Chains A and B, each alone.
Chain A
């Protein structure tokens, strides 16, 4: 089955800095890669996703890049704000398979 590795497990940045979280996946058939933000005790919320037919997608301060050859994808957050502090999960899915989640990255943005 699919295996998703996520790094780093924790990331501390100063407000205004950029943050990058990286994930690798094992199944070359995976074609859908969402990123979720989860605040403590709340539901995961989709913040951005990318499909295998594109290499990059951007939504305001958030961007995701995908390298299918290397089987890795990354989340980029620019101009970080304290409210960006949360746990971020990457995931991968192919066809009729289920989502496989990474172990999460706790992002701490200090004012």
Chain B
């Protein structure tokens, strides 16, 4: 199978601090990884797409200086929420696909971020 892990699963932080979330593909090489944000009872909203070794492509309205994405290897992408505020509290989910035009996306278990 294709397994994607995400760490941490839950994080609580104070306003103004930064939080890093890791997404790993455990048994395959993920050319492309995606970061989503999901508010309660809402759909998944794509934040950015990252390809290994290149800069992430951010969706309209997503601040790239606030949500730093690094895709340093074919199995690891990180999302750093900088200077977090309560409105950043959400469920963050990553996914990964094989190949440049790989259709199927394999989702991580998500990270519940709560900013106090």
Q: List residues of chain A with CB under 8 Å of any chain B CB.
A: 32, 34, 36, 41-46, 49, 51, 89, 93, 95-96, 98-99, 101-104
Contact = CB atoms under 8 A, between A and B. Distances in A.
Contacts of A102: 43
A45 B107 CA distance: 7
Interface residues of B, number: 18
Contacts of A45: 107
Contact of A98 (B46, B93, B104): B46
Interface of B: 34, 42-44, 46, 49, 91, 93, 100-101, 103-105, 107-110, 112
A104 B43 contact: yes
Contact of A103 (B42, B49, B109): B42
Contact of A96 (B42, B43, B101, B107): B101
Contacts of A103: 42-43
Nearest to B45: A101
Contacts of A96: 100-101
A42 B109 contact: yes
A95 B101 contact: yes
B113 to A, nearest CB: 13
Most chain A CB atoms below 10 A, which of B43, B46, B49, B104 = B43
